[in-house]
Amino acid sequence: MKQHYALNIAQINAQVVEAFDVNEIANKVYQHNFKHTPSKQKTIDRLTVKDIDRYKATCWLLSPPCQPYTNGGRKKDTEDPRAKALLHLIDLLPQLNVIPKYIFLENVKNFETSQSRNKLVEQLDALGYEINEYLLTPTQFGIPNHRMRYYLTARRSSKPREKTESYIENSKIQTEWMMSDTPIEESDLPSLSQFLEEGEDVDIKKWMVPERFILRLYKFRLDIVRPTDKHTSCVTKAYGSHHIQTSGSLVQTKDLECTDYNWDDTPSLLSFGLRFLSPTEVSRLHAFPGPAYQLSSNDANSNSNFSPPTCEPHLEFPQDVSQIQQYRLLGNSLNCWVVAKLYQCALFA
């Protein structure tokens, strides 16, 4: 779903022939927005050469499960059952009659040091792909949200190329966005207030952090941000739950002049009126298309060229998808603007 939105933002002339996701809630949201139900016949790890050839797909957009490569997932890498689908595709790739010309993959930081990554790039290199790898975060594109992610773009030439050395021996992960003339500093970013829901009809009570979530903490530091701040931390799938220490930024709604928080006095934090970002606000920071909202001209950064995407379909959640389910999906997501720029300037350039 997230990569489909990035295709639309990048205005790539492409037809999505099939989508796969093991998350039934994600599939429900995909069907609600794109009027197509992702495949339920087989999971990716059970696809055959014949199954894949039937789609005649010239491009694969991949977002494998991140748990095999995270600290919380114990970094079991290729030994983790959740890596099975990616490893299966790597094995099938040279056997296909219709080998995709383009391959894109995104995952968490740490994937770049994994055996899964090594297997992937070795196979792509053997098949004649031009490979580029990146570690990028939305702040480099003018969005006040830290979400460092690994990205791979691979494009296969129809002409045989002279191969003198293996890619993996000389590979380099790019950490700067190549299309930006000058690095974007935090002071150049738009403030968080530009992404917040506003208006008399906005009721923030449903996003307030329950007092019990705060009082259970002891000497834990929270990432508290004010509307005037120009940074937010990475939102994880645990956002909106009692895991408030590490799941993302909390918005301060009271006593905005004060930033001197007494972490030893947990009850004192209640006076700041802490709330979660709403699902809409998280989706804006992740650059999902939605109804127009305008970044003020004196706050937007000229280097970034970030403009809130409004292409249709907008991201909408079915009414029976709960708020906590929305947070989980968004926490497992990516930044659509970053991916769209990689499509435009690297994958399909």
Name the residues annotated as catalytic. Answer: 66
- Asked whether the bond before 313 is cis by omega within 30 degrees of 0, the reply is yes
Neighbour count for residue 101 (Cβ, 10 Å)? 16
- What letters, b where the CB count within 10 A reaches 16 and e where it falls short, cover 21-40? bebebbbbbbebbbeeebbe
**Left if phi > 0, otherwise alpha if psi is -120 to 50, otherwise beta: which for 74?**
left
Q: Please name every residue paired with 67 in a beta bridge, in sequence order, or none if there are none.
A: none
Q: How far apart are CA 155 and CA 347, in angstroms?
A: 7
Listed residue (151, 70, 142, 141) closest to 104, CA to CA: 151
| Backbone phi and psi for residue 9, each to the nearest 5 degrees, phi listed first | -65, -40
**Left if phi > 0, otherwise alpha if psi is -120 to 50, otherwise beta: which for 258?**
beta
Angle at 188 between CA 182 and CA 193, to 5 degrees: 150
Give all strands (DSSP E) within 196-348, no chain letters: 224-225, 250-252, 274-276
DSSP secondary structure letter of residue 220: P
18 contacts 349 by C-beta, under 8 angstroms: no
Q: Please name every residue paired with 152 in a beta bridge, in sequence order, or none if there are none.
A: 105, 133
* Residue whose entry in the numeric block shows the structure tokens 């099939």: 18
* Order of strands across the sheet that contains 59-62: 59-62, 102-108, 149-156, 129-136, 173-174
Strand pairing report for 149-156 and 59-62: unpaired
Q: How far apart are CA 311 and CA 334, in angstroms?
A: 17
